Structure 1
Amino acid sequence: MRLILLSLLALAIAAATGLGLTWTTATRGTDLGTLTIGAWTARPRTGSSDIDPYARAAIARSGELPIGTGDGVAFTATTDDSKKLLDGRCDVVVSGVTPAARFWTLTLYDTKGRLVPNALQRYGFTSQEIVRGVDGAFEVRITSRARAGNWLPTGALERYVLMLRLYDTPVGIATRTQRDAPMPAINTVGCP
């Protein structure tokens, strides 16, 4: 009888551990196949048949539709370059250039993956509409208060996520460094 109880206890512990770890990796993700350049993170294999099982479970849980490897790659940022969480009450500047791409978008989401509501209905910029300097660099201000130029309103949301999607780009699985893919800098320039 004691052997049966110990076996059932061991089985219950193993099941709880397995289910807990599965839930954690499906909700928080893993670093398998992750490409990190500055504050930007991408998982280039997500849109391919080489996707790892943890990323596949996270996509099934979230319902998101990843960009196919042949179409491009999506980078996300939840912190600035100093590893400070992106705060909608602060002034954040995304500046510089993007890697070579036929087309790109920069979009602002809340932490649940929804567009951030605002009166202007401005949720992001595309490579075709952004105002650039003579050197091709751009600067996007992400703040709760109106700014001149390229401005994305946060609605004073406490936390948000930036997503930079690069379409028809050589950036992908073989990319390793900032030199391979010059990503825009993300800097917090002020907090009230």
Structure 2
Amino acid sequence: MRLIFITLLTLIIASAIGLGTTYVTATKGTDLGTLKIGAWTARPKTGTSDVDPYSRAIIVRSGELPVGTGDGVAFIATADDNDKPLDGRCDVVVSGVTPAARFWTLTLYNPKGQLVANTLQRHGFTSQEVIRGADGQFEVRVASRARAGNWLPTGGIERYALMLRLYDTPVGVATRTQRDAPMPQIATVGCP
């Protein structure tokens, strides 16, 4: 009787651990094949047949359609360069340059992966419409109240994510450093 009890207890504990780790990796992801430059994170292999099983599970669970390797790469940021979570009640500045790409988009999403609702229906900028300085650099202000220049309204939500998609770019699996791919800086400049 004791042997049966210990065997059942062991199976229950092993099942709980297995299901728990599967749930965590399918929702939070892993660092397999992850490219991190500053506050930006990308998984260049998600649009290929070489995608790892954990990333594949995340894609299936979220229903998102990843950018294919031949098309480009998508970077996401949920915190600024100082690891402070992006807060829609604060003013955040995304500035600098992007890596070489034929076209890029910068889009604002809520934590569930949906576009952030706002009265202007402004959800992002493209490389063709963003206002740049004489040196080619840009500055996008992400804030709840109107700002001059390139402004993305947050609607005052507490947390959000920025997604930078680079199309027709050499950035990919071989990229490792800021020098290989100069990513825009993200700074929180004001918070109530």
Does the TM-score normalized on the shorter chain lie above 0.5?
yes
Give the deviation of 1:49 after TM superposition: 1.1
What are the Cα deviations for residues 5-46 of structure 1, in whole angstroms up to 9, with x where unaligned?
211111111111100000000111111111000000000011
% same residue: 78
Aligned partner of residue 17 in structure 2, secondary structure: helix
Residues 1:169 and 2:166 are matched in the alignment: no
What is the correspondence of 1:59-98 to structure 2 with a 5 Å cutoff?
Answer: 59-98=59-98
Distance 2:92 2:137 in 1: 16
Number of the residue aligned with 2:145: 145
Give the deviation of 1:90 after TM superposition: 0.5
Give the deviation of 1:134 after TM superposition: 1.0
Stretches of 4+ aligned residues off by more than 3 angstroms: none
Number of the residue aligned with 1:20: 20
Distance 2:28 2:94 in 1: 25
Distance 1:24 1:60 in 2: 15
Q: Report the aligned-residue RMSD.
A: 0.6
Number of the residue aligned with 1:101: 101
Distance 2:45 2:3 in 1: 46
Give the deviation of 1:140 after TM superposition: 0.2
Give the deviation of 1:179 after TM superposition: 0.2
Number of the residue aligned with 1:160: 160
Number of the residue aligned with 2:3: 3
Give the deviation of 1:88 after TM superposition: 0.5
Specify the code of the residue in structure 1 equivalent to 2:157.
Answer: L
Specify the code of the residue in structure 2 equivalent to 1:149.
Answer: G
TM-score (norm 2): 0.99
What are the Cα deviations for residues 105-125 of structure 1, in whole angstroms up to 9, with x where unaligned?
000000010100011000000
Number of the residue aligned with 2:133: 133
TM-score (norm 1): 0.99
Aligned partner of residue 117 in structure 1, secondary structure: coil
Structure 2: tracts of 5 or more residues without a match: none
* Residues paired across the two proteins, number: 192
Residues 1:114 and 2:114 are matched in the alignment: yes
Structure 1: tracts of 5 or more residues without a match: none
Number of the residue aligned with 2:43: 43
Specify the code of the residue in structure 2 equivalent to 1:10.
Answer: T
Give the deviation of 1:2 after TM superposition: 1.8
